[in-house]
A and B are shown apart, each in its own frame.
Chain A
């Protein structure tokens, strides 16, 4: 086999192994995320950020469903009361996690950092799946902590 064919073969094999392994490992970049990239032609999705004080009001009014996308161990330390733990990687691994959710309910996604690509990706994905009221917590969980709003400790329900 000539050198050029060998180079192509190594490139191709490594791509296949890479895609395959990423579907299996916990923090892998899964198909939906890779394909999200290829579907650039679709209309851009406008993400809506919700200020932290409005989020708190909605929490008191029970008007929103809070989703924490941080890893489970971080969630268990502290989180917004009543929120649901949905680690980013887990969502793309088991997409039916929010299947039973009312699609008209307001969902507020948050991570720790004020700007986080994973939150934005998950928000785009949920909007695509019909959860039209998906919002992102402005400033992330860091802003919630800064405002000394109530916290909850322990596992997700």
Chain B
């Protein structure tokens, strides 16, 4: 019974994070310069590195999202997903406490995406979900390995 319930949560989280990552990468792929500026606005990375991040991260999100949905290399993509969520949370938290009046650059460049406490909570929620997904996947892999042996 417990396994069935965990299984449903596992698939729900996988598909949910998969679509979330793909959705959030769309505008970044369409407007890489704007995304690079958004990254630079966090004042962690310089102008140059921000542009490399803008070239790389959206495609990492797409690939991770696709792999999560389809179920390829799950052991690796759950860790990438959790790492991304952790990095996003760190960036948002430091911007919030430094009182940076910037747009989050998470999904789109609109006024609503400015960093507020709700954004922090949203990112924290995603991080918790992604860690849970890592745990569930590791359990699943262990279970499969024990059946094999």
B33 within 8 A of A: yes
Count of A interface residues, CB-CB < 8 Å: 26
B32-77 CB contacts (< 8 Å) to partner A: 32-33, 36-37, 47-49, 51-52, 54-56, 58-60, 62-64, 67, 73, 75-77
Q: How many A-B residue pairs have CB under 8 A?
A: 71
Residue A128, interface by CB 8 Å: no
B3 interface residue, CB < 8 Å from A?
no
B30 pairs with A15, CB closer than 8 A: no
Note all chain A residues with C-beta closer than 8 A to B32.
22, 27-29
- Determine the interface band of chain B, counting residues with CB < 8 A from chain A: 20 to 34
| Inter-subunit contact A29/B47 (CB<8 Å) | no
Given A6-B73, A29-B36, the answer on whether A18 and B31 have CB atoms closer than 8 Å is no
Q: Is the CB of B63 within 8 A of A17?
A: yes
A3 adjacent to B59 (CB under 8 Å): no
Assess whether A54 is interfacial by the CB under 8 Å rule: no
Contact of A14 among B54, B62, B76 (CB under 8 A): B62
The verdict on A34 contacting B60 (CB below 8 Å), with A10-B73, A117-B37 known, is no
Give complex CA distance A123, B86 in Å. Answer: 37
Whether A60 is near chain B, meaning CB under 8 Å from some CB there, is no
- Given the interface pairs A6-B76, A29-B54, A37-B52, the reply to whether A18 lies near B47 with Cβ below 8 Å is no
Of chain B, the residue at the smallest CB distance from A28 is B32
For window 1-55 of A, CB contacts with B under 8 Å fall at 3, 6-7, 9-11, 13-15, 17-19, 21-22, 25, 27-29, 33-34, 36-38, 40
Q: Which residues of A contact B77 (CB under 8 A)?
A: 10
Contacting residues, chain B, for A10 (C-beta < 8 A): 60, 63-64, 67, 73, 76-77, 80
